[in-house]
Amino acid sequence: MDHHLDASQMQYEWNNAIPPRLEIDAGDTVVLETRDAADRYYSRTSTHSDVLARGPFRGHPLTGPVRVRGARPGDALVVEILEVKPADFGWTAIRPGRGLLPEAEFAKPYLQIWDLSDGTHARAGDRIAVPMDPFPGVIGTALDLPGGHSTMPPRKNGGNMDIKQLTAGTTLYLPIAVDGALFSAGDGHAAQGDGEVCITAIETTMTATLRFGLERDHALDGPEFETTGPLSPRTNGGHHYVTTGIAPDLMEASREAIRAMIRHLVAKRGLTREEAYVLSSVAVDLKISEVVDAPNWVVSAFLPLAIFGD
């Protein structure tokens, strides 16, 4: 059976006491309309000053919960991602003090508005076109803990995982901790680099078509997923420019790799530091290259040159 769940009513926390908005059977398909992470705050005409004027974060607006009849703790919820459609514009923000790099390096708010209207690429003027591969940044089931819990950190239920490979064609397996599973999703991303380093991707409202199933007695310690093809083929084909970070801590190695990428983008592509940081968040993939040669580990940052038309 097919169902539709609009974005007229949101939840802003994980709370298993929130009544389900929809009840379905295993095998049913649901079209979910979702809001962006800023709850429709930004528009095409928004400016840098709007970033701090938005006020404190109250939680990702999530569409749901969806109750799956017969789902019980110890089962796995199977979520087939059939289609994801973003809106016609998106945004990426630098908010001082948030993200991978410290406030001292990016002390002013910055906002990039992206044109998504051609349905294939996110465009920032004529210089950059990032292939879109949309996915829900937040997707998960209810926790088995009482009360409300922030949507910001990822958890064993999934949640704010920001995994860019959760695109159409991927099947996600989620732990079920409460009867009915109580599934919710939101935080649409039109494109993102692995790492989402400035703390935002290309954020957008979206519509996701999902088919739900159950695997009985398949207890999971955390989310797992299966892809049907190469990882991120729209952005990972062709030439790349790669910078590295080498340090005894993976977070510091990640920072060093992104700092080097920002320097490269400023020197070789003429971007401002803010533009380079944003581009690193939406298109550059961080990869752990090695964690065995103590005392230092290597993180590499991969920039797909196709976004410049190279």
Listed residues 167, 191, 226: the one ending a domain: 226
Asked if 186 and 153 touch (Cβ cutoff 8 Å), the reply is: no
As given in the structure block, the two tokens for residue 23 are: 């009840």
Per-residue pLDDT at 230:
80
3-state DSSP assignment of residue 82 = strand
Same domain assignment for residues 278 and 166: no
Task: Read off φ and ψ for residue 53, nearest 5 degrees.
Answer: -65, -15
Domain count, the chain: 2
Same domain assignment for residues 214 and 258: no
In sequence order, which ranges of the chain are alpha helices (DSSP H)?
49-53, 233-236, 250-269, 273-283
Contacts of range 150-158, beta carbons closer than 8 Å, 24 or more positions apart: 150/13, 150/14, 150/59, 151/12, 151/13, 151/14, 151/59, 151/60, 151/62, 152/57, 152/59, 152/60, 155/14, 156/221, 156/222, 157/14, 158/222, 158/223
Same domain assignment for residues 149 and 112: yes
As given in the structure block, the two tokens for residue 240 are: 């790349």
Per-residue pLDDT at 56:
86
Same domain assignment for residues 217 and 303: no
Nearest alpha carbon to residue 66 among 14, 136, 141: 141
Same domain assignment for residues 279 and 134: no
Per-residue pLDDT at 126:
86
Same domain assignment for residues 190 and 290: no
Per-residue pLDDT at 275:
97
Print the domain residue range for 135.
Answer: 2-226
Same domain assignment for residues 67 and 88: yes
**Residues 6 or more apart whose Cβ sits within 8 Å of residue 8:** none
Listed residues 226, 247, 274: the one ending a domain: 226
Q: How far apart are CA 211 and CA 1, in angstroms?
A: 10
Residue 310 has pLDDT above 80, yes or no: no
pLDDT per residue as tens digits for the range 74-101: 999 999 999 999 999 999 999 999 999 9
Nearest alpha carbon to residue 174 among 218, 133, 131: 218
Q: How far apart are CA 285 and CA 236, in angstroms?
A: 9
The torsion region of residue 69 among left (phi > 0), alpha (psi -120 to 50) and beta comes to beta
Task: Read off φ and ψ for residue 158, nearest 5 degrees.
Answer: 100, -105
Q: Are strands 76-86 and 29-34 parallel, antiparallel or unpaired?
A: unpaired
Same domain assignment for residues 275 and 160: no
Residue 60 has pLDDT above 90, yes or no: yes
CATH number for position 101: 2.60.120.580
Same domain assignment for residues 190 and 279: no
3-state DSSP assignment of residue 274 = helix
Residue 229 has pLDDT above 90, yes or no: no
Per-residue pLDDT at 272:
97
Distances (CA, A) of 297 to 43, 74, 151, 251: 41, 37, 30, 10
Nearest alpha carbon to residue 162 among 136, 183, 186, 141: 136
Same domain assignment for residues 193 and 270: no
CATH number for position 258: 3.10.28.20
pLDDT per residue as tens digits for the range 108-145: 999 999 999 999 999 998 889 999 999 999 999 999 99
* pLDDT, average across residues 163-189: 98
Reported as a pLDDT band with limits 50, 70 and 90, residue 183 is very high
Q: How far apart are CA 282 and CA 131, in angstroms?
A: 10
Listed residues 226, 256, 286: the one ending a domain: 226
Per-residue pLDDT at 250:
97
Same domain assignment for residues 245 and 203: no
Same domain assignment for residues 26 and 69: yes
User: Over pLDDT 70: what percentage of the chain?
Assistant: 100
User: Over pLDDT 90: what percentage of the chain?
Assistant: 93
Type and span of the H or E element at 85 = strand 76-86
* pLDDT, average across residues 59-66: 98
